[in-house]
Amino acid sequence: MAKETRKSAKLKPKPTRKTSKNADSSIILDKQAKGKLGFNNDSQKNKKHSATNPSSKVQSLKTAKEKIVYEKESKAEKKQTTTTQFKHSSLRFAKKKIEDKKKKKSEDESVDAKPKRKKRVIRIDPYDISNKRLDDGNVLDDISNQKKEKKKEEEQVELSKNAQFRAIKPSPSILSFVEDNLLGRRRDIELRRAGYNTELSAPLDNIPFSTSSERERIEESVFRNKMEFFAAAKAASSFPPPGLPEIAFAGRSNVGKSSLLNALTRQWGVVRTSDKPGHTQTINFFKLGMKLCLVDLPGYGFAYAKEEVKEAWEELVKEYVSTRVGLKRVCLLIDTKWGMKPRDNELIHLMERYQTKYQIVLTKTDTVFPLDVARRAMQIEETLKEHNSVVQPLMMVSSKSGAGVRSLRTALAKIARFVKP
């Protein structure tokens, strides 16, 4: 009997724990399984507490419902805010549209006030083969080709100014004068071979192969006299009384009037010179003994002075040239490199009107090649062919090298020959 009781005790199954009455929620787990799955005792206790207490279940359900209701209310509020923002933005956009329309209407009314030009409608006969339609592209191509041709012609005109100057063929008399006086840009070796002393200032204003160490005397006795400054005028009322025959030197600013006066008399520094245009601002009178009076006129054109002052200079020069009684000749100085300018032509026309004698003198010939000097002289002679008051020949001078100064002296000395001592 004892053996049977022991067997029955062994065969009895171990008691199991039920977590709840519901079969779905009841789970039987061993301690090892609980440890593996990571369940805590607190969570299990809470589950048990919720399972055992029905009041806690009700509270949880109430809180969930409240949460759902709260979420619905918050969503509704967000929708309301978005709708209000959208309404505000749409209202602003509508206001802007209305304002833009008003502006456009006002602009259209202003445009409508002006008379509109009717569009020119070109009607083409479909049966006429000679007419060219714009759709074909032929007419448009012709217009574009015409524009291109015009542009090319304009470019050719601009380039042709230089080309025309290069095409000028100077006369043999001008070429011989240039070569005899060694005009143009020359090397020192050429001047030495010709027998001139390059160590002197203006070496070409001298007799070549001279044995004396000093400079030769000026061949014209008039220019041997001492040049003396005796008057300056800023207005016509301050002109000195006419007595001696006057030779005036006119031209653009910085063309070399004052330096040419010094070169003619070989008295450097008597007439003030400057590289700054507009240095001479008055009409200056210089005596050469009792024979001649040389007049240095202020330059016209570009100068470092106010416009009012420059206009006053030009009017003074015009008044002197047109009304001066003792004026025998005006030497109109022109830069060889740039040629005649519109202001030079204005002065020439004024002198032609009042029949004042003038002679063209090309200056700064040492900055240009000899052939270009001859071309410039030929160009000016051709332009002044029909003028009556021009004195021939046209003179070419360089105050720096002294080229052509002696020939200019001989031309001007003829004026003083007939003056009584």
Place of tokens 């008379």: 115
User: What is the pLDDT, as a whole number, of residue 34?
Assistant: 44
pLDDT reading at 227 higher than 70: yes
Q: Please give the residue that has the higher pLDDT: either 218 or 133.
A: 218
Q: What is the pLDDT of residues 336-347, one digit of tens each?
A: 998 999 889 989
Q: Please give the average per-residue pLDDT across 20-25, as a whole number.
A: 42
pLDDT band of 394, cuts 50, 70, 90: very high
Q: Please give the average per-residue pLDDT across 267-293, as a whole number.
A: 74
Give domain status of residue 50, yes or no.
no
Cα dist from 399 to 29, 145, 178, 270, 336, whole Å = 128, 53, 15, 15, 13
pLDDT band of 235, cuts 50, 70, 90: confident
Q: Please give the average per-residue pLDDT across 228-249, as a whole number.
A: 88
pLDDT band of 62, cuts 50, 70, 90: low
Weakest-pLDDT range from 14-28, 300-314, 380-394: 14-28
326 and 293 in contact (C-beta within 8 Å)? Answer: yes
pLDDT reading at 327 higher than 50: yes
253 and 303 in contact (C-beta within 8 Å)? Answer: yes
Give domain status of residue 227, yes or no.
yes
Weakest-pLDDT range from 19-28, 227-236, 347-356: 19-28
Give domain status of residue 241, yes or no.
yes
User: What is the pLDDT, as a whole number, of residue 72?
Assistant: 75
**Collapsed DSSP state (helix, strand, coil) of residue 361:** strand
User: What is the pLDDT, as a whole number, of residue 360?
Assistant: 96
Residues 317, 282: Cα–Cα separation, whole Å: 9
250: CATH: 3.40.50.300
User: What is the pLDDT, as a whole number, of residue 81?
Assistant: 74
Token reading at 284: 């200056």
Q: At what angle do helices 342-354 and 307-323 cross, to 10 degrees?
A: 30
User: What is the pLDDT, as a whole number, of residue 17?
Assistant: 46
Weakest-pLDDT range from 76-85, 290-299, 390-399: 76-85
How many Cα atoms sit within 13 Å of 82 on the Cβ side?
6
Q: Percentage of the chain with pLDDT > 90?
A: 25
User: What is the pLDDT, as a whole number, of residue 304?
Assistant: 52
φ, ψ for residue 363, nearest 5 deg = -110, 170
pLDDT reading at 159 higher than 90: no
User: What is the pLDDT, as a whole number, of residue 199?
Assistant: 83
Sequence-separated (6 or more) residues with CB below 8 Å from residue 281? 234, 298, 305, 309, 313
Give domain status of residue 55, yes or no.
no
Specify the DSSP element, H or E, that contains 172. Answer: helix 172-180
pLDDT band of 213, cuts 50, 70, 90: low
pLDDT band of 196, cuts 50, 70, 90: confident
Token reading at 323: 């009304």
Q: Please give the residue that has the higher pLDDT: either 139 or 314.
A: 314
387 and 348 in contact (C-beta within 8 Å)? Answer: yes
230 and 375 in contact (C-beta within 8 Å)? Answer: no
Give domain status of residue 3, yes or no.
no
Sequence-separated (6 or more) residues with CB below 8 Å from residue 171? 378
Give domain status of residue 125, yes or no.
no
User: What is the pLDDT, as a whole number, of residue 185?
Assistant: 92
pLDDT reading at 417 higher than 60: yes
pLDDT band of 381, cuts 50, 70, 90: very high
Token reading at 60: 């949880």
Rg of the Cα trace of the chain? 55
Q: Please give the average per-residue pLDDT across 58-75, as a whole number.
A: 70
Give domain status of residue 56, yes or no.
no
Cα dist from 342 to 207, 346, 348, 349, 356, whole Å = 38, 6, 10, 11, 19
pLDDT reading at 29 higher than 50: no
User: What is the pLDDT, as a whole number, of residue 20?
Assistant: 43
Q: Please give the average per-residue pLDDT across 269-276, as a whole number.
A: 61
pLDDT band of 420, cuts 50, 70, 90: low
Give domain status of residue 133, yes or no.
no
**Collapsed DSSP state (helix, strand, coil) of residue 247:** strand
Q: What is the pLDDT of residues 104-148, one digit of tens each?
A: 777 766 655 555 566 666 665 566 555 444 444 454 566 677 777
Total count of domains within the chain: 1
Burial class of residue 352, CB neighbours in 10 A (0-12, 13-18, 19+): middle
231 and 298 in contact (C-beta within 8 Å)? Answer: no
User: What is the pLDDT, as a whole number, of residue 370?
Assistant: 94
pTM over 0.85: no
Q: Which domain holds residue 185?
A: 172-206+218-416
